[in-house]
């Protein structure tokens, strides 16, 4: 990544600009303003992740770069977070989206504004950029959404095709910890009162989300797939093959009627100018072209870019972490692409391809199958990616192809499967793997399905034991090159822990037939697109006090048979040398299950957050856990806050939520 220090405009920064909403709530904004003759277009990033410390490192790389190219940039702490007033009710609440629209109108009315606003963000900021665009605030002319979703139920961190993702607890625990932090005492004299009010009233979101196990009105709110044409702002959608959110970009490129372009790279859940695995791209240059065209009428040529640019990854050895992914950029003028065909590979007894024939394969995976699945959303730069799949393959029903010719798989593979279950509730996981000549197994893509949801996520129905059904399971989108002489494997399991919560009973599935529909693109002869080198503004100046460290450890209790995944993410401690705030974080998770008993499943999370300023040392300990019996989910949560070593608040919660076809 190349550091840029000279820009067309000098930049002025305001650390804490107040934006007072109609109800009197003051939101705190950090602003980078270009110097020179205005008025200027503006770019808004609207987040709960704390501009003072949480996103300060990435903000330093990004927003001064945009401001240096003539865009006023505002990084606003949402209501109830960071240095802003109020309380946050939930993610993407009507209040949040209304506040964002009001901020956009406020920006457009300022003397320094040309009246045109863009909105951007990754993850939460990518989600709310899409959702705000669907509300059509008049000044909003363009957005850049990264690592986001169009469907809050089917493709977020809560549920995936009707299965409960354990990330529902894991990310809820993260927010429980994040939201426990105080404002910066240097910016607010009333920081302590604000902090204590948040601690006392902050909702425990995993329980909120768990009360909606079907695709109901709660999830339809904010799901832009409900009305794609409502988005009228120009959309640049960016995704990543190493991220959880692989499916939004192709859907947006296909469905939006406004100007839209898509880019998907090999990265995890990070901005592409500093993401890993490489190669990185000049994302900020692409963004300047996008903002320039739609916010000030530059002749940047973005309309002539291909509709969809993807990084076609070479098939490589399995690993839980990569720093670089070999491959090349490919480009499509439209999506779906007319040049991509479907190769149908029937399933046979242990075989993929050839003549289809009937079979009966019983499948009863041990509950710990899925241990090599990696994180649902790789983000923390530890060993989070799916490793060698041979261990999970051994616990699955596998269908292998013959050695294949070099094949470019581009799109969403679909598995059609006939099966029956001996229990009224069951689930299935399907992995498409790349089998190397020595037997190593790399996961290409995957999908999961709650079988009681196979006909409807809104109205699930209990299975009839022994009755055959036919399912269609679309796996996540991917662009992957299978080398010549290597094999494909479809691996089917009846559990996928710790990615998804298990069904209440261990079911035996009987597989009786099916076929894989493989999206195949003509083999790319070389790179079809080139991005400029990654650039960024100078990095944040910090002093490291404690170095980060990341651990993923599997444990088996030889006495009880319990299998555990232990996650320890120490994000270190550092001082921001620009304003002196010291912060540190540590996250711990533990996921346990017995291979024979789904009701032994437990998950527990613990976040420690520290904020230090001028002799003030504030710390919170946010803990939560979840377990279940045959009918009910049980959750507990504890929040402890300390000034120095003195406890100033302890809060305990207990929740019970009935299981609903889950």
What mean pLDDT comes out for the span 156-173? 97
**Positive or negative: CA dihedral 78, 83, 86, 88:** positive
Q: What tokens does 5 get?
A: 């220090």
Residue 479, pLDDT score: 98
Hey, what are 78's tokens? 């949402």
φ, ψ dihedrals at 191, nearest 5°:
-55, -40
Buried-exposed string 503-517: b where 16+ CB fall within 10 A, e elsewhere: bbebbbbbbbbbbbb
Q: For position 487, what pLDDT does the model report?
A: 98
pLDDT at 355: 80
Q: Residues 403-410: what's their mean pLDDT? A: 98
The yes-or-no verdict on residue 604 having pLDDT over 80 is yes
Instruction: Assess whether pLDDT exceeds 80 at residue 647.
Output: yes
pLDDT band at 86 (very low <50, low <70, confident <90, very high): very high
pLDDT band at 234 (very low <50, low <70, confident <90, very high): very high
Structure-token pair, residue 587: 């996250």
**Three-class DSSP category at 49:** coil
Contact 143, 236 (CB under 8 A): yes
pLDDT in tens, 1-26: 999 999 999 999 999 999 999 999 99
Query: Could you tell me which residues come within 8 angstroms of residue 308 by beta carbon, excluding any fewer than 6 positions away?
Result: 249, 250, 253, 261, 262, 263, 264, 331, 332, 334, 335, 337
Mean pLDDT, residues 230-240: 98
* pTM exceeds 0.85, yes or no: yes
Average pLDDT score over the chain: 97
Token pair recorded at residue 398: 């596998």
The answer to which of 381-385, 431-435, 531-535 has the lowest mean pLDDT is 381-385
Whether 409 and 518 have beta carbons less than 8 Å apart is answered as yes
Residue 373, pLDDT above cutoff 80: yes
* pLDDT score for 7: 97
Residue 453 has what DSSP assignment?
Answer: G
Q: In this model, does residue 632 exceed pLDDT 80?
A: yes
How far are the Cα atoms of 2, 238, 286, 323, 393 from residue 281, in angstroms, in the given order?
11, 12, 9, 14, 35
pLDDT in tens, 252-301: 999 999 999 999 999 999 999 999 999 999 999 999 999 999 999 999 99
Burial classification of residue 500, based on how many CB atoms lie within 10 Å of its CB (0-12 exposed, 13-18 middle, 19 or more buried): buried
Helix (H, G, I), strand (E, B) or coil at 301: coil
Q: What does the pLDDT look like over 511-523, one tens digit per residue?
A: 999 999 999 999 9
Tell me how long the chain is: 662
Share of the chain above pLDDT 90, in %: 98
Q: For 480-507, write each residue's pLDDT tens digit.
A: 999 999 999 999 999 999 999 999 999 9
Find the mean pLDDT for residues 392-409.
Answer: 98
Main-chain dihedrals φ then ψ at residue 13, nearest 5 degrees: -115, 140
Given this model, what pLDDT does residue 357 score? Answer: 76
pLDDT (tens digit, 9 = 90+) per residue, 29-80? 999 999 998 899 999 999 999 999 999 999 999 999 999 999 999 999 999 9
In this prediction, residue 345 has a pLDDT band, given cuts at 50, 70 and 90, of: very high
91-95 average pLDDT score:
97
Q: At 504, phi and psi to the nearest 5?
A: -70, -25
Q: What is the pLDDT of residue 19?
A: 98
Cα-atom radius of gyration of the chain, to the nearest Å?
A: 25
What is the per-residue pLDDT across 420-444, written as a single tens digit (0 to 9) for each? 999 999 999 999 999 999 999 999 9
According to the model, what pLDDT value does residue 358 have?
82
User: Coil, strand or helix: which one is 541?
Assistant: coil
Segments of 502-615 assigned E as strands:
509-521, 535-536, 542-546, 549-556, 563-576, 582-594, 597-613
Q: Which pLDDT belongs to residue 380?
A: 84
């Amino acid at each position: 990544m190349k550091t840029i220090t000279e820009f067309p405009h000098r930049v002025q920064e305001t650390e804490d600009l107040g934006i007072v909403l109609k109800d009197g709530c003051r939101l705190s904004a950090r602003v980078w303003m270009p110097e020179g003759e205005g008025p200027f277009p503006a770019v808004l990033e609207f987040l709960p992740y704390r501009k003072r410390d949480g996103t300060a490192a990435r903000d330093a790389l990004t927003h001064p770069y945009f401001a240096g190219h003539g865009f006023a940039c505002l990084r606003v702490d949402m209501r109830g977070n960071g240095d802003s007033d109020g309380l946050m009710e939930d993610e993407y609440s009507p209040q949040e989206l209304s506040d964002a629209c009001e901020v956009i109108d406020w920006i457009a009315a300022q003397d320094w504004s040309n009246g045109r606003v863009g909105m951007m963000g990754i993850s939460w900021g990518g989600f709310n950029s899409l959702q705000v665009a669907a509300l059509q605030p008049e000044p909003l002319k363009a957005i850049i959404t990264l690592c986001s979703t169009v469907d809050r139920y089917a493709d977020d961190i809560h549920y995936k095709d009707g299965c409960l993702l354990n990330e529902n607890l894991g990310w809820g625990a993260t927010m429980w910890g994040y939201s426990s932090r105080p404002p910066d005492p240097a910016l607010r004299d009333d920081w302590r009162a604000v902090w204590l009010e948040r601690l006392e009233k902050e909702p425990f979101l995993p329980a909120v989300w768990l009360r909606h196990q079907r695709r109901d009105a709660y999830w339809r709110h904010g799901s832009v797939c409900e009305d794609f044409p409502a988005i009228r702002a120009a959309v640049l959608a960016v995704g990543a093959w190493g991220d959880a959110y692989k499916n939004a970009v192709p859907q947006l490129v296909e469905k939006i009627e406004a100007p839209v372009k898509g880019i998907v790279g090999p990265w995890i859940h990070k901005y592409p100018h500093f993401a890993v695995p490489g190669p990185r791209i000049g994302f900020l240059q692409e963004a300047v072209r996008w903002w320039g065209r739609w916010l000030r009428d530059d002749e940047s040529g973005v309309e002539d870019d291909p509709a969809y640019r993807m990084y076609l990854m070479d098939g490589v050895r399995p690993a839980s972490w990569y720093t670089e992914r070999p491959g090349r950029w490919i480009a499509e003028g439209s999506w779906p692409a007319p040049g991509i065909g479907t190769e149908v590979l029937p399933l046979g007894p242990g075989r993929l391809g050839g003549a289809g024939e009937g079979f009966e394969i019983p499948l009863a995976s041990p509950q710990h199958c899925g241990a090599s699945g990696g994180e649902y959303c790789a983000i923390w730069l530890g060993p989070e990616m799916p490793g060698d799949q041979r261990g999970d393959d051994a616990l699955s029903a596998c269908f292998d192809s013959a050695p294949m010719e070099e094949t470019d798989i581009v799109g969403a593979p679909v598995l059609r499967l006939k099966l029956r279950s001996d229990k009224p509730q069951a689930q299935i996981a399907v992995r498409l793997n790349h089998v190397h000549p020595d037997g190593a197994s790399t996961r290409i893509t995957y999908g999961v399905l709650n079988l009681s949801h196979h006909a409807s996520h809104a109205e699930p129905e209990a299975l009839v034991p022994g009755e055959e059904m036919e399912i269609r399971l679309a796996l996540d989108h991917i662009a992957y090159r299978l080398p010549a002489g290597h094999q494909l494997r479809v691996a089917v399991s009846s559990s996928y822990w710790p990615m998804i919560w298990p069904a209440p009973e261990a079911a035996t599935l009987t597989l009786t037939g099916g076929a894989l529909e493989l999206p195949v693109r003509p083999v790319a002869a070389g790179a079809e697109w080139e991005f400029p080198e990654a650039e960024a503004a100078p990095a944040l100046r910090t002093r490291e006090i404690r170095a980060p460290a990341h651990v993923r450890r599997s444990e088996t209790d030889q006495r009880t048979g319990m299998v555990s995944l232990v996650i320890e993410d120490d994000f270190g401690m550092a001082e921001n040398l620009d304003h002196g705030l010291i912060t540190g974080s540590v996250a711990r998770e533990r996921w346990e299950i017995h291979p024979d008993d789904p009701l032994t499943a437990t998950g527990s999370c613990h976040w420690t957050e520290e904020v230090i300023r001028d002799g003030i040392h504030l710390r919170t300990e946010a803990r939560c856990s979840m377990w279940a019996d045959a009918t009910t989910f049980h959750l507990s949560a504890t929040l402890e806050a300390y000034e120095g070593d003195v406890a100033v608040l302890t809060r305990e919660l207990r929740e019970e939520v009935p299981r609903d076809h889950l």
